[in-house]
Structure 1
Amino acid sequence: MKRNPQRLAALASLALAATLGFSACGSDDDNGGGGGDGGSDAIVFLPKNLGNPYFDASTTGGERAADEFGGSIEEVGPDEPTAELQVPFIDTAAQQGVGALVVSANDPSALCDSLNQARDAGVKVVTFDSDVEADCRDLFVSQADAAGIAKAQVDLIAEQIDGNGEVAILSAAANATNQNEWIALMEEELAANYPDIELVDTVYGDDDDQKSFDQTEALLSQYPDLEGIISPTTVGISAAARYLSESDAKGEVALTGLGTPNQMREYVENGTVEAFALWNPEELGYLAAYTAHALASGEIEGDEGDTFEAGDLGEYTVGADGVVLLGEPYVFDKSNINDFDF
């Protein structure tokens, strides 16, 4: 994959302040919200749930891409991150004949029937952030290599606790595809390279701020010798940081994972969090929109080796299993966090 050499400079200039030009919620009918007016340039973004800053950012990136290639983006989705609640939005978009669906899946298999019915109706299906089974979509836009994401988080927590002690994982939903893949790889990485670190528990905050906050409190109560927490979800890491910043564990229990600079800035600056990682969610949405457009317009078929241009990100190539890879995760700390605004 060729990347624009000015990528980091462009990354630093991106902001979430852009006004969203699409619906912030679905329709009130029984079929859920719908997409635009149909046609190959009409793309529906279906995140895990609405009101999540991470997905707000990715949809902003998708809208920026659509402005460039002359298409339209509509964001629809449930208020709660469940696969069951995503299904009506898929069905409605298919009925409206949109060009493509861009979906972050709450379950790897539960959406498959609806997604395949949409594909049978001529809708191109691109997953991003969290995949479904490969035979249920056309392409998956991956935020980073799963092994690289897992290794980055394990290396960060290991550095912060000097490679020794008890750690726990605060995840999103128990059936979230991406979370579970990362957790399995983190377990392998810990076993292979950090024998003195013990993973004592994995708990789930369901990408709900209050539940994630409460789970953090419960972890510290249950494991008084806990040295660190890894939270591979933007909602979870910010809720955990908020709890730690207000407790006696601030500066004593390390926290890392995946978060956005705007969520985590105050916790880095006040010493609650030393470093964390993420890709740019705006870039992820931007690439997903370009990928969907390339499919819906017939520029690519989605076969391994297909190439397409993704605006200022440059040229991308479809890899094995229909995966388009954004890039490597980026580490944020006190030295660079103020260079970013998303």
Structure 2
Amino acid sequence: MNASTRRLSAALAVSTALMVAATACGGTTKSDSNKDDAKSAAAGKADPNAKTKKGLTVAFLPKQVNNPYFTTSDNGGKKAVQQLGSTYKEVGTSSGTDTSGQVSYVNTLTQQQADAIAVSAQDPGALCTALKQAMKNGVSIVTYDSDTKVDCRNAFVSQASAEDLGRTQVQQIAKQIGNKGEIAILSAAQTATNQNTWIKYMKDELKKPAYKDIKLVTTAYGDDDAQKSFQQTQGLLQEHPKLKGIVSPTTVGIKAAAQYLAGSKYKGKVKLTGLGTPNDMRAYVKNGTVEAFELWDPAKLGALAAHTAVALESGQITGKAGEKFKAGDMGEYTIGKDGVVTLGKPTVFNKSNIDDYKF
């Protein structure tokens, strides 16, 4: 072997050694350490009996920190994460519309090698690039309360199904008016997708024989504006003097309607139900204006998001429809179409339990 050949061989040896060293160092990164798990997930392999991993870092990124609703939700997530033997952290912006801030937090959490991120998306598409990069780096992504695009997360934890939200509101108002009389709907914007979906199920529910003596006279739109919703409530009662009940599937609308009814001759006579928060509705429940209304329990929503994230990291699920996993004392859940996990039927709030909820 001549000198030139020896020098070439030595260079190749050094190069090979450096590549091996680089590979060994790279093995400590989140991306490489989860490569096998990522391959299994991509292949659709889930083991519901896999051991629950401990020592994970699960980060919650709500739409807005210090918002009572998300404080309650994320505290539910914190409790579940800690019970599962992992570390919880919460990050986020103080504004509910700072999408760029959410993107920045996703990028930072990815760089910090968080194991999982539970995020309530301010915008369905704006986070996608950052979330996809996080998933490429082995981070499990769960959306909760507000979803992003299907391919930008592993699973979405939904508050309740649209069908349940629509049908149960009809069931509530029917019970309160004794299954007889005229009712009206006070919605948000006429183009609001979620409102229209719920109303569609309300109308379908009303077709059942059990509600043959209930008549839906009209649907009014308050555009999620408190003053307009207040005025629409007044208009409904003036135009329909025989009205027995109002269903308002919007937190702004139901509060405005309650404000009007509370100061009118209709208090206690015209029933009101729909979707609202306990903090908004507490006074109206206690003074007899409202008998009962609905929403989901945000603490349980956060807890389910935490269990979903840990189940993904543990390889118990991959996010495909039909997969099952256990969520502590909340029981077993099955992943539905498009990776959606539904919390369950909405919670009914009334005088007996409303003080148990602070959001």
Q: 1:90 to 1:300 in 2, by over 3 A?
A: same
Following superposition, the deviation at residue 56 of structure 1 comes to 2.0
Q: Could you give the per-residue CA deviations for residues 285-324 of structure 1, whole angstroms, max 9, x where no partner exists?
A: 1111111122134343223333333222233332333122
Give, in angstroms, the shift of residue 113 of structure 1: 3.9
1:309 matches 2:326: yes
Unaligned runs of 5+ in 1: 1-38, 206-210
CA distance in 2, matches of 1:138, 1:84: 21
1:63–1:72: 8 Å Cα contact kept in structure 2?
Answer: yes
Alignment of 1:108-187 (within 5 A): 108-161=124-177, 162-165=179-182, 167-171=184-188, 178-179=194-195, 181-187=197-203
8 A contact 1:78–1:86 mirrored in 2: no
Verify the 8 A CA contact 1:40 1:100 in the aligned structure 2.
Answer: no
Q: 1:287 to 1:270 in 2, by over 3 A?
A: same
Aligned pair 1:219/2:248, yes or no? no
Alignment of 1:57-96 (within 5 A): 57-69=72-84, 70-81=86-97, 86-96=102-112
Q: Which residue of 2 aligns with 1:324?
A: 341
The Cα shift of 1:68 comes to 0.9
Measure how far apart 1:65 and its partner are: 0.9
Q: Alignment partner of 2:71: what SS?
A: helix
More displaced, 138-147 or 103-112? 103-112
> Which residue in 2 is equivalent to 1:44?
59
Say which of 311, 316, 337 aligns to 2:353: 337
- State the distance in 2 between where 1:119 and 1:204 align: 37
Distance 2:266 2:166 in 1: 25
Q: Are 1:259 and 2:276 matched, yes or no?
A: yes
Alignment check: 8 A CA contact 2:63 2:92 kept: no
Aligned partner of 2:286 in structure 1 is: 269
CA shift at 1:66, angstroms? 1.7
SS in 1 for 2:75: helix
**More displaced, 300-309 or 246-255?**
246-255
Corresponding residue for residue 35 of structure 1 = none
Q: Which residue is equivalent to 1:198?
A: 217
- Which sections of structure 2, spanning at least 5 residues, go unmatched? 1-53
TM-fit CA distance, 1:183: 4.0
Instruction: Report how far residue 243 of structure 1 moved.
Output: 4.6
SS in structure 1 of the partner of residue 267 of structure 2: coil
The root-mean-square deviation of aligned C-alpha atoms, in Å, is 3.4
Q: Give the partner amino acid of 2:262.
A: S
The structure-2 alpha-carbon separation of the partners of 1:86 and 1:222, relative to structure 1 and needing over 3 Å to count, comes to farther
Residue identity matched to 1:203: G
Partner-residue secondary structure (3-state), 1:98 = coil
- The equivalent residue for 1:12 is none
Task: Count residues with an aligned counterpart.
Answer: 296
User: Which structure: greater helix fraction?
Assistant: 2
Rounded to whole Å, the distance in 1 between the matches of 2:217 and 2:105 is: 42
Residues 1:254 and 1:91: Cα distance change in structure 2 (over 3 Å): farther
| Aligned equivalent of 1:98, options 114, 135, 141 | 114
1:279 and 2:296 aligned: yes
Cα displacement (A) at 1:273: 0.5
Q: Secondary structure in 1 aligned to 2:222?
A: strand
Normalized against structure 2, the TM-score is what? 0.68
Identical-residue share of aligned pairs (%): 46
Shift of 1:188: 4.2
- The 1:51/1:249 distance shift into structure 2, 3 A limit, reads farther
- Higher-Rg structure is 2
- Aligned-pair CA distance for 1:219: 1.2
1:80/1:41 CA distance change after superposition, 3 Å? same
**Matched-pair contact (CA < 8 Å) for 2:223–2:229:** no
How far, CA to CA, are the matches of 1:105 and 1:48 in structure 2?
Answer: 6
